[in-house]
Chain A
Amino acid sequence: MKVVGQARRRVDARAKVTGQTRFADDVVLPRMLYGKLLRSAHPHALIVEIAASAARAAPGVHLVLTGADFPTAYGIMPVSQDEHALCRGKVRYVGDPVAAVIAASEREAADALALIRVTYEPLATIASPEEALRTAEPRIQDYGEGPNLHRLAHFAFGDVEPALAGADQVFEDVFFYQGSTHLSLEQHATVAALDADGRLTLWSSTQTPHYLHRELARALDMPAHHIRVIATPNGGGFGGKSDPFNHEIVAAKAALVTGRPVKITLTREEVFYAHRGRHPVLMRLKTGVRQDGTIVAMDLETLLDGGAYGSYGPASTLYTGQLQTVTYHVPRYRFRACRAFTNKPPCGPKRGHGTPQPRFAQEVQLDKIAVALGRDPADLRLQQLAPANSVTANWLTIGSMGLKPCIERVVQGSAWRERRGQLPFGRGLGMACSSYLCGAGLPIYWNEMPHSGVQLQLDRSGRVTVFCGATEIGQGSDDVLAAIIAEVLGLETTDIKLVTGDTDLTPVDLGSYSSRVTLMMGNAAIQAAERAKAILSASAGQKLGLPAERVAFADRRVFDVENPSAGMAFQEAVVAAEVEHGTLGTTGSYRPPRSAARYRGGGVGPSVAYSYTAAVVEVEVDPATGWVRVSKVWIGHDIGRVINPVLARGQVEGGVYMGLGEALMEEQAFRRLPPRLSSALVHKIPSMLEYKSPTALEMPEVVTYFIEDPDPSGPFGAKEVGQGPLLPIAPAVANAVFDAVGVRVDQVPITPDLVLAALGAKAKGKSGRVGPEAFPAVPWPEALVVPPPWEGGNGKAINEPAKSRDALPTHHSGTAGVKV
């Protein structure tokens, strides 16, 4: 192949290094106004009154909006439509938007916010899932599967109890994975404007323009085809720009009301409140194994701190368990999950969405199992990999599976066999593995249309323009799209004109989430390009006196594959086709095949392909201080096929980086003031200084190995690389700390005080483990029983547990008592 697999400058590199990439906040329009949101200073309160007349009269102010202006609820998932652009009747966390000021300058808007008087009636707060479990009133939301419980899930894929009873050994651990935020360098921004034809255009830093488009139409009660959403290149996403956000809907509304362009750019602190980051998750994991460490049954409970709103929560909840079966063969599996509401900014999808937490639990526990049974952790894993082309206990269909060579490469690269357990005290190696989706098998809202669409337009100039709704968030989706078209048509990536992420111009692509773009957009692009190629082959073949099958495309030429010198320039072939057919265009679509999982909840987890990753991390631990320094990382990733090795390696290194941040320092932490003095419950550190993310000085050397075993489902065999490589990092660090100093930190971040505490405990003859001690009692519902394939199942549940009544938002809360 001439393009795919070749290292090259990405198509948007020039714009990025010259400062010409136009991010959302760089959009400047004539007569533009600026908006600022007034955010709640209360963690939980009823809104009694909003007095905005002074703000309305303030210098430069054009408009003040409140919840009364936004009667319609929205939310990314149809089952969690619990948000309003501005709060109606109630605030649920410090930072919840209450009112908006639109003014001639951002400063004037901010100054006028201070003139709005809001009268609140404070309510008791809930700071943790444990509190939510024992607090029936007040309720943060008026829906859910328990008073302050958003979702409850219980799956039995086979009966684990007898399997655990029959196991040679059962290991049970409680783990905690702290919440973290995306911390994209770009703060969310949006510009809304009325076009000359009276329609609305919204430029926004969104990863999901299509979903935003739908929710804008809903929240503004406007026909969707009168709204245009342009996803500007995102200055980092990582999942944090995947929801429809308050400021986007407010800006749109303000543009409709004022008739002028309106920009809203969040401050960094506001980005911490917009959040939708990694859920803090408490986990209890019980695994039964045979004497050699082979898993016979696994029983997982997870408790998610969801924050105050639904967001992607229903999916996040299921992701804390559904992918546990894809890495190693698990014959029987029980999974119970609970997402609680708390008075904090809503959690949602962050790189790895819901799966790094249980991955941490499983990979650390496997390390403990290996140590307890005297097995090499690498061998313990290798002996029980989930087989390629198989169906898991929970009915996920695995295609290609390249974890074995991933493990072998990192074992070899790190000299694992010679060095693990052999390094001097204070140095150690740890291993972990993982797997991840290559695109969610189902869209966010149920439909049978394509997940990704691509249109190609060609004309006599030789121009090839590709239109696709996919969204460039830095991951390189534009380059992948250009590469695939160029590969098929024998062009260079620089020959392809790209139009992406624009709901007026481009066919729908569902967005940059769930590592779906390369596979889904790529397959749609291949189809569109192959169709164009067929048209050009026929026309060019006619001119060359050749059957279409003998026409080949390469080096910007169309030629006889058996006699390459006989041919024509690509442009001449387009001319020939335009003569024959008139105006030229083709389309391509992709929709993943139907999943084998036919049970309720089985929509989360299926993917047409899974990527695999193995990592070895080397650490140095200072036993005097507990300080952990990561000195080197070896990582093998089963990517199927590399499209651009420069970008693929960047994704791996970026994933390692973000995983290290979560492993060692990042925390979305909150603080409750002494209750006798204050009802405050605040984000502890909403700043880039105090939310610790690794700098250039913390980054270790990373050795990356790509395993290229093309997956038949992927474009040219490609699988994902954007999320999977993050997953093994935190557990590998924890396992390396154990190898270095013999203590277990069963939670992240692994801070030096925890390591020192564990060392201190061990020195006193105690266990040398720190971490959560207990998992609270959760009112688990009746299990949905789904027999695994090897127990005669057919992918469907064999029972029908009662569904809780008030699981969906009712929307009648809210308007009472608001005077504006």
Chain B
Amino acid sequence: MSPRRDARKARIALTVNGEERDVVFAGYKTLLEVLREDLGLTGTKHGCELGECGACAVLVDGQPVLSCLLLAVECAGADVTTVEGLARGPALSLLQAAFADKGAAQCGYCTPGILVTAQALLERKAHPTRAEIAEALSGNLCRCTGYLQIFEAVEEAARAEPHAQGPAAGRPHVRTEAGA
């Protein structure tokens, strides 16, 4: 082995799940890699790294995006929410609780990306129709459930909480199953 090159390191400050983070990372990395490898947030998954499955979805400034296609150097100052940021303390969010109760997570691998995407939908539209839910989640492949129990879980969460209407920005307004 020859000496390792001084890999091009980059450094950015961003907000992740409400916490300010300052992170140094190999400059070629996407947000996905930095979240999983440099910030230790392995809740965000990867199924293709090419934008073809939706497993890596996170919220950036309230909008669901694919972290595998977002260069981390472009995330300076971004406000990022991952699946780890949905619960409040020990209490599951209403959406998480509905996913747990309705069988929306089988293997659970697509679940983090679907949860954040559905959370953004509910921020935007408190009581989406089945067709709107399907459309919002049409960029997230799931191979286990056939999607129907996922749809039901989103509907259940919508029933459980009257969400604030209006455009989403920043951290989602999460209510939890314990009412925390």
A and B touch in the complex (CB under 8 A): yes
- Chain A residues packing against B (C-beta within 8 Å): 9-10, 12-23, 25-26, 28, 56-62, 104-105, 107-108, 182-187, 233-238, 267-268, 473-476, 646-647, 649-650, 653-658, 687-689, 693, 695-697, 699, 701-702
Which residues of the partner chain A approach B133 to less than 8 Å between Cβ atoms? 696
Considering the complex of A and B, which 6 residue pairs feature the smallest CB-CB distances, nearest first?
A19-B43, A474-B107, A235-B109, A16-B108, A657-B146, A13-B100
Given the known A-B contacts A18-B84, A687-B50, are A649 and B103 also in contact in the complex, defined by CB atoms under 8 Å?
yes
Which residues of the partner chain B approach A60 to less than 8 Å between Cβ atoms? 1, 4
Q: Which residue of A is nearest B115, CB measured?
A: A17
Tell me which of A28, A238, A475, A693 contacts B141 (CB under 8 A). A693
Tell me whether A696 and B134 are in contact (CB under 8 A). yes
Tell me whether B50 and A107 are in contact (CB under 8 A). no
Q: Closest CB-CB distance, A632 to chain B, in whole Å?
A: 12
Cα A693 to Cα B140 with chains together (Å): 11
Tell me whether B47 and A186 are in contact (CB under 8 A). yes
B22 at the interface (CB under 8 A from A): no
Tell me whether B146 and A185 are in contact (CB under 8 A). no
Q: With contacts A10-B100, A107-B28 known, what are 11 further pairs, Cβ within 8 A?
A: A14-B100, A17-B108, A59-B5, A236-B106, A650-B144, A654-B106, A655-B146, A689-B52, A693-B141, A696-B140, A701-B148
Tell me whether A657 and B141 are in contact (CB under 8 A). no
Tell me whether B107 and A695 are in contact (CB under 8 A). no
Tell me whether B52 and A699 are in contact (CB under 8 A). no
B12 at the interface (CB under 8 A from A): no
Cα A185 to Cα B105 with chains together (Å): 13
Tell me whether B143 and A702 are in contact (CB under 8 A). no
B171 at the interface (CB under 8 A from A): no
Q: Which residue of B is nearest A21, CB measured?
A: B108
Tell me which of B1, B47, B149 contacts A57 (CB under 8 A). B1
Which residues of the partner chain B approach A475 to less than 8 Å between Cβ atoms? 106
Which residues of the partner chain A approach B142 to less than 8 Å between Cβ atoms? 185, 696
Given the known A-B contacts A17-B100, A268-B49, A697-B138, are A57 and B106 also in contact in the complex, defined by CB atoms under 8 Å?
no
Given the known A-B contacts A59-B1, A689-B50, are A646 and B134 also in contact in the complex, defined by CB atoms under 8 Å?
no
Tell me which of A9, A57, A697 contacts B135 (CB under 8 A). A697
Tell me which of B3, B49, B83, B149 contacts A19 (CB under 8 A). B83
Q: Which residue of B is nearest A645, CB measured?
A: B103
Q: Which residue of A is nearest B131, CB measured?
A: A697
A-B contacts, 23 of them at CB < 8 A, read A15-B108, A17-B115, A19-B42, A22-B42, A26-B36, A28-B42, A183-B143, A185-B109, A187-B47, A236-B106, A267-B49, A268-B50, A476-B106, A653-B149, A658-B143, A687-B52, A688-B53, A695-B138, A696-B138, A696-B140, A696-B151, A697-B134, A699-B148
Which residues of the partner chain B approach A653 to less than 8 Å between Cβ atoms? 145-146, 148-149
Tell me whether B143 and A184 are in contact (CB under 8 A). yes
Q: Closest CB-CB distance, A11 to chain B, in whole Å?
A: 10
Q: Closest CB-CB distance, A315 to chain B, in whole Å?
A: 23
Given the known A-B contacts A654-B146, A657-B147, are A268 and B1 also in contact in the complex, defined by CB atoms under 8 Å?
no
Which of B97, B141, B146 neighbours the largest number of chain A CB atoms within 10 Å of its CB? B146
B87 at the interface (CB under 8 A from A): yes
Cα A476 to Cα B149 with chains together (Å): 15
Q: Closest CB-CB distance, A702 to chain B, in whole Å?
A: 6
Tell me whether A696 and B137 are in contact (CB under 8 A). yes
Q: Closest CB-CB distance, B112 to chain A, in whole Å?
A: 5
Which residues of the partner chain A approach B96 to less than 8 Å between Cβ atoms? 17-18
Tell me whether B146 and A61 are in contact (CB under 8 A). no
Q: Closest CB-CB distance, A20 to chain B, in whole Å?
A: 7
Cα A687 to Cα B47 with chains together (Å): 10
B48 at the interface (CB under 8 A from A): yes
Tell me whether B108 and A654 are in contact (CB under 8 A). no
Tell me whether B43 and A20 are in contact (CB under 8 A). yes
Given the known A-B contacts A9-B100, A23-B45, A699-B148, are A185 and B141 also in contact in the complex, defined by CB atoms under 8 Å?
yes
